[in-house]
Amino acid sequence: MNRWIVYQRERFPLAGHGPLVAAFSTSAVCYSALARSSTALPALSSLVVAFVTSLLFFLQLRIADEFKDFADDSRHRPYRPVPRGLVTLRELAWVGVGAAVVQLALALALEPSIVWLLVLAWIYLALMTKEFFAARWLKSHPVIYMTSHMVILPLVDLYATACDWWVAGLRTPPAGLFWFLVVSYLNGLVVEMGRKTRAPADEEPGVETYSALWGTSGAVRAWMFAVLLTAAAAYRAAVEIGTEQWMLGLLSVLVLLCGAAAVRVVRRQAKGSGKAIEMMSGVWTVLMYLGLGAAPLVLAWLR
């Protein structure tokens, strides 16, 4: 058990992932309710299934990365848990299968007919694990690699929102949900670039980062561009549920905070300064999602 506690701490820290996934899944369910003109608080069962299933999806994504990166990790990052022998790929595969069993059981308990949406996300996850059978080509085209892999996020979000609208009896997503899924996709780019942007002194040989590809300044600018695109999509999603004024205020503050972090990193580029971008990506994600879905529904319910 201690091995898995160490693995969790190093590769899938629940203290960091839990709040992000909770904001992601809760707001997905709440936004769906608002999009179908409901101000009632979502059922606890829908919230729990959306959260646990989403968290397990992110765990499965981490496990998929362990398989995809094993050769590179063994060569350049032998300190990571799998190359140093803390856990094995075979053990991780069984963890991934166990997670799928839990996801399936939760879907059947909530609404059996929702399973096909779960299977859709599983299929895309499997294709990602195999690098779409074009690993070498994708590795040589990092932007396409990133943008193709981010498609999994709106698929997971589609399932999370379906824990509301499908269970409520709808068989097509409510109007406006498209923009929430766009937000999920774009926000995935924000988080991905945020965690792979480093100061020059923090770069590691053989470790692919966007700062190594474009330079620290270039990566920060690309990250800020993704933030602005996500903000525009989040505002458009808020228009669909009539909360655009509230969302505009929140997004303005968050964009200013992201901009301040970006300017500081570009100017300093000191060792460890890239962590500010990664940290701000997490703050942006939690507050943006809560402001888009959970907070408006709670306020509407209180009124």
Token pair listed for 247:
């969302």
Please report, for residues 17, 31, 124, 246, 259, the alpha-carbon distance to residue 291 in angstroms, rounded to integers and kept in the order given: 18, 10, 29, 8, 19
Spell out the residues 6+ positions from residue 301 whose beta carbon is closer than 8 angstroms to its own. Answer: 39, 40, 41
- Per-residue pLDDT of 61-112, as tens digits, reads 999 999 988 888 888 888 999 999 999 999 999 999 999 999 999 999 999 9
Share of the chain above pLDDT 70, in %: 100
What pLDDT does residue 269 have?
82
1 pLDDT exceeds 80?
no
Token pair listed for 235:
């505002």
What pLDDT does residue 48 have?
97
Q: What is the CB neighbour count within 10 angstroms for residue 25?
A: 30
Q: How many domains does the chain have?
A: 1
What pLDDT does residue 69 have?
86
3-state secondary structure of 33: helix
Residue 98 within a domain? yes
Q: Which amino acid is at 159?
A: Y
Residue 161 within a domain? yes
CA dist 133 and 142 (Å) reads 15
Residue 67 within a domain? yes
Q: Closest Cα partner for 17 from 60, 65, 58, 53?
A: 58
Residue 1 within a domain? no
Residue 3 within a domain? no
What pLDDT does residue 76 have?
84
Q: What is the CB neighbour count within 10 angstroms for residue 80?
A: 17
- Per-residue pLDDT of 149-164, as tens digits, reads 999 999 999 999 999 9
**66 compared with 270, residue with greater pLDDT:** 66
What is the distance, to the nearest Å, from the Cα of residue 252 to the centroid of all Cα atoms in its chain? 22
Domain containing residue 180:
17-302
CA dist 180 and 243 (Å) reads 13
206 pLDDT exceeds 80?
no
Residue 206 within a domain? yes
